[in-house]
Amino acid sequence: MAAPAETATVRPTPPTHSYSVTCEWSGSTGVGYDRYSRAHVGHAPPAATAVRLSSDTAFRGDPSLLNPEQLVVLAASSCQLLAFLAIAARARVDVRDYQDTGAAVMTEDGRGGGAITEITLRPRITVVTDATEERLRRLAQLAHEQCFIAASLNCPVTVFPTFEILTPYAFRDTETAARRLALVSDVFDPGSRAFVHDRVSAAFVHDRDSAASVHDRDSAASVHDRDSAASVHNRDSAHGPSGVRLAVDLGCGPGHTTRLLAAATGAARTVGLDASTAFVATAVGTEPVTAQGGGLSADGAAELAFLRHDVSRMPFPAQAREADVVYARLLLPHLVDVTDAIGGWITQVAPHGLLLLDEVESIDTDQPALATYLDHARQLLAARGTTLHAGRLVNTALHDLAAHSAGSSFEVEYNATEPVRPSVPTAAEMFGLNLAVWRVDPLYRDRQPELDRLAADLAALAAGPEHDGHITWTMRRVAVRRLAG
């Protein structure tokens, strides 16, 4: 009788990886131990570059060439670097610079041999993140645990990372920063309000009164299919008198632009989004204003809401999706990928809705102190991979999005530049508040005397009388209509 077949669990074979190298040397040891060349060449196909090697100088090697002991340390350092970058990327931590100093100790055994007994790595890592240093250290430890080379060595590999942490929002969210944003509101609101009001009036008020205009902006739909333009906005809730159901303010800060948006659009509901807990708390704690021209709740107050959300991440919270109007002012300088950001925002706009961008194209001044401040601001943003004059990138971003989309999902309805000309004392006061906030940035740790002089110059301008000097912001203002798709 046959015995019953034995069963066994089949375990998947783990993946393996093979590496081959060659080392080449030619010469003569006949000249004696002290005189033959230790130089040789290593290849690691398919890489074509050869590595010229020697022995340690303690063993008569050429100090201008790498030796095997150095290669071991270099391999450990390289592997730790690669492991950390991979882990950081998955954790959405933006690593900007990684510089490691590795060291090893080799101990001879007195019998002609020996071994590397310890390797120490001291990486200095610059990151742009809101993550704490404790979290970054945990990521570095995880990278060490996952490092193939460290796991292959008999000697301990110890990693002592130090971190240079740059906050993503260089201008911070302190009380001083909030005061500066109030001044920014005073300077930029008049032009921004007119821009938003005019574009919304052109897009929605006229559409509400003329059903034919619906056909103009959606050629795929017949007028019969759209009995009235108002039906375009009949999406689950009431509308303001302007026809705008929902308006969303991106990077709302302490709420000034959100209130501007509510007033300029007459939206039934306006939502501000910002990644800063402090700013959102300030915005929520501020008394709401009445929306001029509509968008009022039953008790006559504008329906405003503020939510914490990183606006570079899609989708938006449910309360902010399918908005008729999405607005961003002075936000793109704080985002690394302008094209990706704009493309994502367009997807969050309702069909036939508007994305309104209000960004700096250029700043011109004849005042040395103001120009010096602007140079520092550019350096501060450049360290984070962004630019002060983000308005210059908008047209290129829209062109790239149109060129690479499967179909034309949007059209540009308005694209123009307009000047903003505050007084020199006002600009100096605004810059002085900013300087007080970002001078603590690691970028300026060793430049405090220089910033002290700049702060004094800005204070003198802010306190001084009006004069013939000037400063002009050129704003790039763009209205993008999302098409039905």
Q: Encode pLDDT of 95-139 as tens digits.
A: 988 999 999 998 888 888 889 999 999 999 988 888 899 999 999
Angular region, 93: left φ>0, alpha ψ -120 to 50, beta rest: beta
Q: Which pLDDT value is given to residue 302?
A: 57
Distance, in Å, from the CA atom of 273 to the CA atom of 344, rounded to the nearest integer, reads 15
DSSP 246-303: EEEEET-TTTHHHHHHHHHH--SEEEEEES-HHHHHHHHHSPPPPPTTS-B-TTS-B-
> Coil, strand, or helix at residue 101?
strand
| Closest among 320, 336, 330 to 356, alpha carbons compared | 330
Residues of the chain with pLDDT under 50: 1-2, 4, 211-238, 287-300
Placement of tokens 């979290």 in the chain: 135
Global model pTM greater than 0.85: no
- The one-character DSSP state at 79 is H
Q: Which pLDDT value is given to residue 406?
A: 60
| Closest among 185, 200, 186, 226 to 294, alpha carbons compared | 200
Q: Which pLDDT value is given to residue 205?
A: 63
Q: Which pLDDT value is given to residue 324?
A: 97
Six-digit token string for 268: 């039934």
Distance, in Å, from the CA atom of 330 to the CA atom of 434, rounded to the nearest integer, reads 14
Q: Which pLDDT value is given to residue 408?
A: 58
Going along the chain from its start, the domains and CATH numbers come out as: 38-166 (3.30.300.20), 175-482 (3.40.50.150)
H or E segment at 150?
A: helix 148-152
* Side chain identity at residue 68, one-letter code: P
Q: Which pLDDT value is given to residue 233?
A: 36
Six-digit token string for 458: 């800005």
| Closest among 331, 362, 357, 329 to 474, alpha carbons compared | 362
Q: Which pLDDT value is given to residue 213?
A: 41
Distance, in Å, from the CA atom of 466 to the CA atom of 407, rounded to the nearest integer, reads 53
Q: Which pLDDT value is given to residue 426?
A: 95
Q: Which pLDDT value is given to residue 15?
A: 85
